[in-house]
Amino acid sequence: MKKVILSLVLAVTSLSAFAQKPSPELLNPTNHALVLIDHEGQMAFATKSIDAINLKNNVGLVAGASKIFNVPTVVTTVAEHSFSGPVFTEILEAYPDRTKYIDRTTMNTWEDVNAHKAITEKGKKKLVFAGLWTSVCIVGPTLSAINEGYEVYVITDASGDISTEAHEQSIARMVQVGAKPITSLQYLLELQRDWSRKETYKAVNDLAVKYGGGYGIGIQYAREMLKH
């Protein structure tokens, strides 16, 4: 009888330990690199698949999250000074040193020598992409990176295109070859993962209040009215 009880205890303990192990599919601050591609004025003017304010807020969540959690991040632009213009202020807020941005002429970031080097030198097999437009600036590097053996996540609501159809078909095309779609708030909360992580708790909630829409309003309300 004692042996049976001991076996049951060991089985429950094993199951509990297993249940606490997170999936390797989940992103954490150290297992990936983030690439923000061409969030520039000229590219945003024609983006119709998402409202410009929502797009900017979502980019703010992503850029801010990567800064809070020290995620290796690459910011790329295309023809910044001759055509496309500066990146969104939400990116500049998190990464103000524009000399570290990689400007290119190629539509596919992966085909630019400097960009490819900057991304691959981060040494991460998981890559997270977001940018404008989905059908060009995101499809190109996503398909190329997957072809080279990388695991790619695409932040769909921090990306956009000239029409809803163009955006959705691009996401479908990438998913068909193994890309994993996620959203901006999901990215932030997946990095936090546990509210007992006090070192980032306040910064994450402050970021959500600033850029998190209705979720942020709820946090602001709870802080003021519930003293939470």
Q: DSSP for the chain?
A: -HHHHHHHHHHHHHHHHHHTSPPTTS--TTSEEEEEE--BHHHHHT--SS-HHHHHHHHHHHHHHHHHTT--EEEEEESIIIII-PBPHHHHHH---GGGSEEES-SSGGGSHHHHHHHHTT--SEEEEEEB-IIIIIHHHHHHHHHTT-EEEEEGGG-B-SSHHHHHHHHHHHHHTT-EEE-HHHHHHHHH--TT-HHHHHHHHHHHHHH-HHHHHHHHHHHHHS--
Q: How confident is the model at residue 19 (pLDDT cuts 50, 70, 90)?
A: low
Mean pLDDT of 80-98: 92
- Give the pLDDT confidence score for residue 166 in this predicted structure: 98
Please list the active-site residues: 137
Predicted pLDDT at 85? 87
Reported as a pLDDT band with limits 50, 70 and 90, residue 83 is confident
Average pLDDT of the chain? 92
Global pTM exceeds 0.85: yes
222 pLDDT more than 50 = yes
Mean pLDDT, to the nearest integer, of 21-26?
94
Degrees, nearest 5: CA angle 60-41-188 = 15
Residue 18, pLDDT score: 58
